[in-house]
Amino acid sequence: MQSRDFNNLFVRDVARKIRELNNLIFMLALRAEDIDKGFSFNESARQVLGWPAHITNMYEYCMMWDADYNRLYQICIISHCSELEYFFKTLFDKYSHLPKKIITSTRSLVLL
């Protein structure tokens, strides 16, 4: 579903923002390892900081601390969930006539 498919301007705007932010975070997760490998430290900075000789770029620095680049994909999911939570909070604040409480049972959904 595309954001243009939503009739409500508020929902359309939030859907677009969530999609674009998630795309940005996912793109960075895909490229982070390569970006870090291309980020080189100069020799004097490495010596001043007391790093071992094999630490020549950001990737090796992150590996020195056991960084896990795969966790970036988990952050994508967490961020997406957080954005959706914010969307629903804002939705219920903006449209106060919506139900305040939802009670679910195994047989039916009851709105109070």
What is the band of 112 on the pLDDT scale with cuts at 50, 70, 90? very low
Structure tokens at 29: 């997760």
Q: How far is CA 95 from CA 4, 8, 23, 83, 104, in A?
A: 21, 12, 28, 18, 22
Residues with Cβ < 8 Å from 104, sequence gap 6 or more? 110
Structure tokens at 14: 């939030």
The domain in which residue 41 lies consists of 3-111
3-state DSSP assignment of residue 40: strand
Write down the pLDDT at residue 55. 93
User: How many domains are there within the chain?
Assistant: 1
Pairwise CA distance, residues 74 & 12, whole Å:
26
* Residue-wise pLDDT tens digits, 41-97: 999 988 999 999 999 999 999 999 999 999 999 998 898 888 888 888 888 888 776
Q: Where are the alpha helices (DSSP H) in the chain?
A: 9-38, 43-48, 58-64, 71-94
